[in-house]
Amino acid sequence: MSKTTDNLKEAFAGESQAHRKYLLFAEAAEKDGQPQIAKLFRAAATAEAIHAANHFKALGGIGTTAENLKAAIAGENYEVVTMYPGMIADVQGAGEKKALTSFTWAMEAEKGHEQMYRKALANIEKGQASLDYYVCPFCGYTHEGPMTEKCPVCGAPAEKFIKVA
């Protein structure tokens, strides 16, 4: 791997993290009654997302829809099979319940993501009916169609799920 590729990957990761962090900071500023600061954080987050997209494109990270689905499947599978199980094992004896819950919820949600990507890839040439997706705002569990029961991962009520546009 070239130094340029390494730098693009590092820049993509850093800008992606800054984007998400600044959006969380904006939420906190809103709660603190600081709408102008929240607006500043959202503006910076938008800029960071643009930087991340530019870096990812320079890496050649976007392919055809089928290629992108295969990349997404590989990423979700890595998280479910390798990354989160290792993190869960590391944290279990440490008594850090918030981290354990966060890792466990994420891993369970990622299992569903991988299945949905595999289904979409299998159906890509057949043409698929339009589906709506709903996401649990607490654990990230993703469901095809309206949620009618509580979240199977964290137990959140169905009415809390967010419809993704």
**Rounded mean pLDDT of 83-103?**
94
Domain residue ranges in the chain: 3-58, 63-128, 130-165
Percent of the chain predicted with pLDDT > 70: 99
- Is it true that 3-58 and 63-128 share their CATH fold? yes
**Which uninterrupted H or E stretch holds 142?**
strand 142-144
Task: Round the average pLDDT of the chain to a whole number and report it.
Answer: 94
Say if CB 37 and CB 27 are below 8 A apart.
no
pLDDT tens for each residue of 33-70: 999 999 999 999 999 999 999 999 999 999 999 999 99
pLDDT tens for each residue of 139-164: 999 999 999 999 999 999 999 999 99
pTM across the whole model: 0.86
CATH class, range 130-165 = mainly beta
Alpha-carbon distance of 53 to 59, in angstroms, equals 10
Predicted pLDDT of residue 125: 72
Best CATH choice for the domain 3-58 from the list 1.10.8.50, 1.10.1740.10, 3.40.50.11740, 1.20.1260.10: 1.20.1260.10
Please give the CATH superfamily to which domain 63-128 belongs.
Ferritin, core subunit, four-helix bundle (1.20.1260.10)
Instruction: Kindly tell me the burial class for residue 117, based on how many C-beta atoms sit within 10 Å of its own C-beta (0-12, 13-18, 19 or more).
Output: buried
Predicted pLDDT of residue 1: 76
Amino acid at 6: D
Say if CB 109 and CB 139 are below 8 A apart.
yes
User: Does the structure show a pLDDT above 70 at 129?
Assistant: no
